[in-house]
Amino acid sequence: MGRGSVRKPDPSLDLSQHLWHMDRLPRPWKAEQVFPQPGPVEVDVGCGKGMFLLQAALEHPERNYLGIEKQYNFAAYSAARVAKRQLPNARVVAGDALWVFREVFPDESLAAVHVYFPDPWWKKRHRKRRVMVEPFLRDVERTLRPGGALHFWTDVKEYFDETLQLLAQVTRLQGPVPVEERPARHDLDYHTNYERKARLAGKPVYRSLFFKPQESA
Ligand X SMILES: C[S@@+](CC[C@H](N)C(=O)[O-])C[C@H]1O[C@@H](n2cnc3c(N)ncnc32)[C@H](O)[C@@H]1O
Q: Which residues are catalytic?
A: 119
> Minimum distance between the CB of residue 97 and ligand X, rounded to whole angstroms?
3
**Range list of β-strands (E), 7-143:** 19-21, 41-45, 64-69, 90-94, 110-116
- Residue 52 or 210: the one with the smaller Cβ distance to ligand X is 52
> Minimum distance between the CB of residue 162 and ligand X, rounded to whole angstroms?
16
> Minimum distance between the CB of residue 9 and ligand X, rounded to whole angstroms?
16
Contact (Cβ atoms closer than 8 angstroms) between residue 118 and residue 136: no
Footprint of ligand X on 59-78 (CB under 6 A): 68-71, 74
- Residue 102 or 142: the one with the smaller Cβ distance to ligand X is 102
Task: Quote the distance between the C-alpha of residue 106 and its chain's center.
Answer: 17
Residue number with the shortest CB distance to ligand X?
46
Footprint of ligand X on 23-52 (CB under 6 A): 46-48
Contact (Cβ atoms closer than 8 angstroms) between residue 101 and residue 136: yes
DSSP-assigned letters across all residues of 161-179: HHHHHHHHHH---EEEEE-
Q: Choose which of 117, 152, 159, 210 interacts with ligand X (CB under 6 A).
A: 117
Q: Could you say whether residue 116 binds ligand X (CB under 6 A)?
A: yes
* 28 cis-preceded (ω within 30 degrees of 0): yes
Footprint of ligand X on 154-193 (CB under 6 A): 192-193
